[in-house]
Structure 1
Amino acid sequence: MKAITIKQPWATLIALGEKRFETRGWQTKYRGELAIHAGKQVDRDACLEPEIKAALVRNGILSISMLPTGSVIATTILKDCIRSAETWTDGYILENGERVYSPEYDFGDFTPGRYAWDLRDVKQLPEPVPAKGQLSLWNWEGGSSYE
């Protein structure tokens, strides 16, 4: 299964179903199953942002030390990769016309020209599975939860 390494708290927000789009400066033509790997780095400042902190606390994550790192924590389906087209008063507009509102736009960088990876059917793993992450998309041999 393909995998992507994502810094914390973003990986956990995806695993919890709080974050639908992973934003990147690059696109991919890949579509299908994708493992979400929580990298070893934690953006501690981001964890203190009000929308992010609220989402974590709402899901029982009361401290940064509760965020798993160096592990695959969820699987999902990468449905699409959509370019961010423009900003507007209440958020961003993707090139397919979809509008991104708060709190979703607080969970990514939707600057026009970047890409929103549309993640669907997220399944949080019962326990994190230790794995060494990599840059870009990589192959994880941990299996599929969609069989």
Structure 2
Amino acid sequence: MKALTVRQPWAAAIAHQAKRVENRTWKLPAKHHGTRILIHAGAQRDQYAQVYGPHRDVYSAIVAVATVTGCHWSDDGLCCGPWGEEGVYHWTLEDVTALPAPVPAKGALNFWTPPDDVLAAVQRQVHIPQETAR
């Protein structure tokens, strides 16, 4: 199972609010379409974000599990509601499950593979089918 690092407060908005789009400058690799991923709150905050809500003070931890269901380019950002940005790819997310307790982990750029102990800690909190976890 792969993880994706997202800066705060966006990771918290995915896990605990209705943010179901991740804005990226790069297109989703086809092999990740339809897969379950871990949402990792990065070590740094997006200094320009003006989002308020719960759990935005958690850093360097897995905070949710989600399914990436699509990817499309958006010129105007209007297609994905208030969370969509213009001039970027929108990765759509569904089946988001917030972890009851964030799992500390060091993140990385792009998709990355979490260590076995991190994945095991996530699996103790939410059910992830074995074939998905690998």
- Same fold, TM-score > 0.5, yes or no: yes
Q: Of the two structures, which has the highest relative contact order with CA contacts closer than 8 Å and spacing of 6 or more?
A: 1
Q: What corresponds to 2:128 in structure 1?
A: 146
Which residue is equivalent to 1:8? 8
Give runs of aligned pairs for residues 49-128 of structure 1, distance below 5 A.
49=50, 52-53=51-52, 56=53, 60=54, 67-84=57-74, 86-87=75-76, 92=78, 99-101=79-81, 103-105=82-84, 109-111=85-87, 114-128=88-102
Gaps of 5+ in 1: 93-98
User: Given the two structures, how large is their TM-score scaled by the length of structure 2?
Assistant: 0.78
Give the 4+ runs in structure 1 shifted more than 4 A.
none
TM-score (normalised: structure 1)? 0.72
| Residue 36 (structure 1) aligned with residue 39 (structure 2) | yes
Deviation at 1:41, TM superposition (A): 0.3
Deviation at 1:43, TM superposition (A): 2.4
Aligned Cα root-mean-square deviation (Å): 1.8
> Unaligned 5+ residue runs, structure 2?
130-134
- CA distance in structure 2 between the partners assigned to 1:44 and 1:100 by the alignment: 22
Aligned partners of 2:68 and 2:21: how far apart in 1? 10
Deviation digits for residues 82-112 of structure 1, max 9, x if unmatched? Answer: 111x32xxx52xxxxxx232x323xxx332x
1-structure distance, mates of 2:22, 2:99:
18
Displacement, 1:80? Answer: 1.1
Cα pair 1:110 1:116 within 8 Å, conserved: no
**Cα distance 1:129–1:24, how it changes in 2: closer, same or farther (>3 A)?**
same
Answer yes or no: is the 8 Å Cα contact 1:17–1:122 preserved in 2. no
C-alpha separation between the residues in 2 aligned to 1:25 and 1:3?
17
Distance in 2 separating the partners of 1:122 and 1:131: 19
Cα separation, 1, equivalents of 2:25 and 2:73: 9
In the alignment of these two chains, the number of paired residues is: 118
Alignment identity in percent? 36
